[in-house]
Amino acid sequence: MERTVNRVELRGNVGADPKITPINPNTNLIRFSLATHESYRTKDGTLKEETTWHNIVAWDSKNRGEFAKIRKGTFVEVVGKLRYFKYVTKMGEERYSTEIIALKLAIPEMLPRESRGAQSSLPSTAQSCILGGSEEGELESEQDLA
């Protein structure tokens, strides 16, 4: 039987100061937007830059202090999985959304901005923390996000 994979790796800048919500005395939930950038040339040779915004959700129960380092503009690396969901607005409209559930989060503070894109995921010089679970298993508090 084939093994399927739901894995996302992103490197980018935080779009706004994150929202941190206490779930219980030992666990915090953090939500923030992350901008990734891609450059390409059109057929006529014009350089185009495209920015994609991603919704990131993470929680911790051990490394609470790490979340305090994430601010608007912080360059972070995220390894996680995609989660799609449907919700109903107060006006009764059905909406769909996509989130990245962060399994690993790194803040490569020591790397110069120019060299970040060439680095492998979660470099040894990065300050990193593992958030709530592993790539193999489900996060402990995923049901709290619904």
Name the residue with higher pLDDT: 25 or 57.
57
- pLDDT for residue 66: 65
- pTM to 2 decimals? 0.70
Nearest alpha carbon to residue 39 among 50, 28, 30: 50
How many Cα atoms within 13 Å fall on the side-chain side of residue 7?
Answer: 11
Name the residue with higher pLDDT: 130 or 43.
43
**Ranges 3-12, 13-22, 88-97, 127-136: which has the least confidence:** 127-136
Q: Which domains does the chain have, with CATH numbers?
A: 8-139 (2.40.50.140)
Sign of CA dihedral 58, 52, 121, 14: negative
Question: How many residues belong to the chain?
Answer: 146
